[in-house]
Amino acid sequence: MEHVDLTWLFIIMAGGFLAAFVDSVVGGGGLIALPLLLATGMSPTAALGTNKLAGTMSSLTSTLSFIRSGKVNLRLVLYLFPLSLTGAVGGTYAVRHIPSDFLRPLVVVMLILVTLYTFFKKNWGQLSTFSGLKAKSAVWMGIAAFGLGFYDGFFGPGTGSFLIFIFLALGFDFVMAAGNAKVLNFASNIASLAAFVSFGLVNYQYGLPMGAAMIAGSLIGSRMAIRKGSSYVRPMFMAICSLLVGKQVWDLLS
């Protein structure tokens, strides 16, 4: 059994709480959690696997919180859930055979467009206008769920933001969009976590305590989002998108 540094364990749990608080609403928790795990000295792949364990625990918590509050369209997400799960399995398998870094420039462009569109469309996501899927939109949503599941397993950054954007485009308000997105994000997290566990790339000594702290953070974060509504979620969504852009640009240039 590896030695666990108690100081680092405390730092990781505190950082995990903060990461989950943000991630439970608009995603992007890995911006906080991953650097902390890497700082302990574990390998990048082990850090990714450990973060996926803690993130899946957090994701399940916020998913249940949104469902209990009625902020998830269950009929819609039950149709999309297996597609996201299947896509993530394919993406996780593909990343072992194909380098994923070629996607980074495209992701930067997409995140910039998502942020700008949300910024200039001031009233977007304030009220829900969703009235159900028609045949054509059902097909496109199925493709999007599978595609973003694959992307999350293959590369990952910005998945939560892209999911929220798609649900906003369907006519959901920001809180419902966040709730629906969280359920699909949980699906892709399960698939990726299973792969990391099978590869032996999860550090449970750090991952389980971090996951416990992230459960607390996701409970508080999702409840705040549900209580405060779109006026709280919208600026957080744009802030996280902007940070994701900065992180991807930094990785491109470094």
Mean pLDDT in residue range 49-77? 91
Alpha carbon 159 to chain centroid distance? Answer: 6
Structural domain total, the chain:
1
- Range picked from 13-27, 31-45, 54-68, 128-142 for highest mean pLDDT: 54-68
3-state class (DSSP) for residue 128:
coil
Position 243 in a domain? yes
Work out the pLDDT band at 110, boundaries 50, 70, 90.
Answer: confident
Position 153 in a domain? yes
108, burial (CB in 10 Å: exposed 0-12, middle 13-18, buried 19+):
buried
Residues 30, 32, 34, 40: what is their CA dihedral angle, to the nearest 10 degrees?
Answer: -160
| Domain span holding position 149 | 6-253
| 85 pLDDT more than 80 | yes
Spatial contact of 160 and 23, defined as CB atoms under 8 Å apart: yes
pTM listed for this prediction: 0.86
Position 1 in a domain? no
Position 213 in a domain? yes
Position 124 in a domain? yes
Lowest mean pLDDT among 35-44, 60-69, 110-119, 142-151: 110-119
Percent of the chain beyond pLDDT 90? 30
Mean pLDDT in residue range 141-152? 91
User: Residue 235's pLDDT is what?
Assistant: 83
User: Residue 67's pLDDT is what?
Assistant: 94
Where do the H-state alpha helices sit in 127-203?
135-154, 159-170, 174-198
Position 16 in a domain? yes
DSSP state of 102: G
